[in-house]
């Protein structure tokens, strides 16, 4: 039996535009956008007043570890955990829980899971998915004679973090090979970096790319595209407070002071929407969800 480790999720695209457009968008240079607390994708972090450790995703959202069992399928220790302020922590939206490191072909240290009160044994496939191991003989072939020593009990409160797939695996099942360049939580969740929108002044405007790409007929520096469900990052470099909102108030950055960074997720249905900046809506863009 062959096991497919990944589900292919259909995605939509999001585009933001500002200003008059006269031609197809040229390739533009990228701007460099800061992150909250100068964190980098993949960083582990906490605050002084809490022992809870979070993962900083490639999408610049934070992800929690439900327990130490989950954490230690990804890391060997806490040596790389950095400390940030509670204020900084509150600026990083929480987006979900990390699940067990998935099994790859040839892995000898895979942790298995058993739900409280059930006999079935499961293995993580990544993307929050669990699949049942067909029987004990298959478990021994796939994961070694000591497989029973590596079964963790999954508390009921954490079951909702997983999707239990149909079917099961046996000793003929096929798995992906471990990537040569390692495998991260961002990889496992298929997270991508946010597309940034800077807010400049003189005049007050949005910018997502190098404005030097503008010519006499066209200026595309306000265009950006992300997949539905991914993130957009707003950075305010104006000296005044700016609030960005979607025309139907489906989302807003809230009031942004100078150098504030706000990351939000756009899940709008396909269509076109205006978004505005400043209290008088005097800067405007178009949000296209495809």
- pLDDT, one tens digit per residue, over 223-271 is 777 778 888 899 999 999 999 998 899 999 999 999 999 999 988 888 7
Domains identified in the chain, total number: 2
Question: Which of 182, 207, 233 delimits the end of a domain?
Answer: 182
How confident is the model at residue 157, as a pLDDT? 92
Q: Which of 195, 199, 217 is nearest to 287 (CA)?
A: 195
**Same domain assignment for residues 174 and 205:** no
Question: Which of 122, 152, 182 delimits the end of a domain?
Answer: 182
How confident is the model at residue 6, as a pLDDT? 34
Residue 6 lies in a domain: yes
What is the Cβ-side half-sphere exposure of residue 127, based on CA atoms within 13 angstroms? Answer: 11
**Same domain assignment for residues 163 and 224:** no
**Same domain assignment for residues 154 and 231:** no
**Same domain assignment for residues 288 and 203:** yes
Residue 96 lies in a domain: no
- Distance separating alpha carbons of residues 269 and 266, to the nearest angstrom: 9
How confident is the model at residue 254, as a pLDDT? 95
How confident is the model at residue 22, as a pLDDT? 26
DSSP string spanning 150-204? Answer: GEEEE-HHHHTT-EEEEEEE-TT---PBPPTT---HHHHHT--PPEEEEEETTTT
Residue 179 sits at the vertex; the CA angle it makes with 8 and 106, to the nearest 5 degrees, is 100
**Same domain assignment for residues 120 and 168:** yes
- Distance separating alpha carbons of residues 189 and 55, to the nearest angstrom: 12
Residue 76 lies in a domain: no
Question: Which of 182, 213, 238 delimits the end of a domain?
Answer: 182
Range of the domain at 254: 1-41+193-290
**Same domain assignment for residues 170 and 211:** no
- Distance separating alpha carbons of residues 285 and 197, to the nearest angstrom: 11
| Pair of tokens at residue 39 | 């964190």
Residue 97 lies in a domain: no
Residue 264 lies in a domain: yes
How confident is the model at residue 265, as a pLDDT? 92
How confident is the model at residue 184, as a pLDDT? 96
**Same domain assignment for residues 178 and 205:** no
**Same domain assignment for residues 1 and 26:** yes
* Element of type H or E holding 143: helix 136-143
| Pair of tokens at residue 184 | 């991260």
pLDDT over 70 percentage in the chain: 84
13-17 sheet: strands from edge to edge: 224-227, 13-17, 283-289, 271-277, 242-246, 252-256
Give me the residues of the chain with pLDDT under 50, please. Answer: 1-29
Residue 154 lies in a domain: yes
How confident is the model at residue 93, as a pLDDT? 96
How confident is the model at residue 21, as a pLDDT? 30
Q: Which CATH number fits the domain that encloses residue 237?
A: 2.60.40.420
């Amino acid at each position: 039996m062959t096991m497919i480790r990944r589900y292919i999720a259909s995605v939509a695209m999001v585009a933001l535009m500002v200003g008059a457009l006269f031609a197809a968008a040229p390739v533009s240079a990228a701007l460099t956008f800061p992150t909250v607390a100068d964190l980098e994708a993949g960083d582990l972090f906490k605050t002084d007043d809490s022992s809870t450790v979070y993962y900083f995703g490639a999408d610049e959202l934070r992800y929690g570890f439900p327990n130490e069992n989950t954490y230690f399928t990804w890391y060997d220790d806490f040596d790389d955990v950095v400390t940030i302020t509670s204020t900084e922590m509150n600026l990083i939206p929480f987006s979900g829980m990390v699940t067990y490191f998935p099994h790859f072909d040839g892995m000898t240290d895979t942790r298995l899971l058993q739900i409280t009160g059930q006999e079935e044994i499961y293995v993580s496939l990544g993307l929050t998915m669990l699949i049942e191991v067909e029987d004990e003989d298959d478990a021994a072939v796939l994961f070694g004679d000591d497989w029973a020593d590596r079964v963790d009990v999954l508390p009921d409160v954490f079951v909702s973090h997983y999707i239990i797939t149909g079917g099961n695996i046996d000793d003929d099942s096929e798995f992906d090979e471990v990537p040569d360049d390692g495998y991260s939580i961002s990889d496992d969740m298929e997270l991508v970096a946010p597309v940034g929108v800077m807010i400049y002044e003189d005049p007050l405007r949005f910018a997502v790319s190098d404005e030097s790409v503008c010519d006499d007929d066209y200026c595309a520096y306000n265009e950006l595209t992300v997949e539905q469900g991914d993130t957009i990052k707003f950075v305010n470099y104006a000296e005044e407070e700016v609030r960005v909102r979607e025309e139907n108030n489906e989302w807003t950055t809230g009031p942004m002071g100078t150098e504030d960074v706000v990351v939000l997720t756009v899940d709008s249905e396909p269509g076109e929407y205006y978004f505005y900046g400043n209290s008088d809506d005097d800067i405007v863009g178009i949000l296209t969800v495809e």
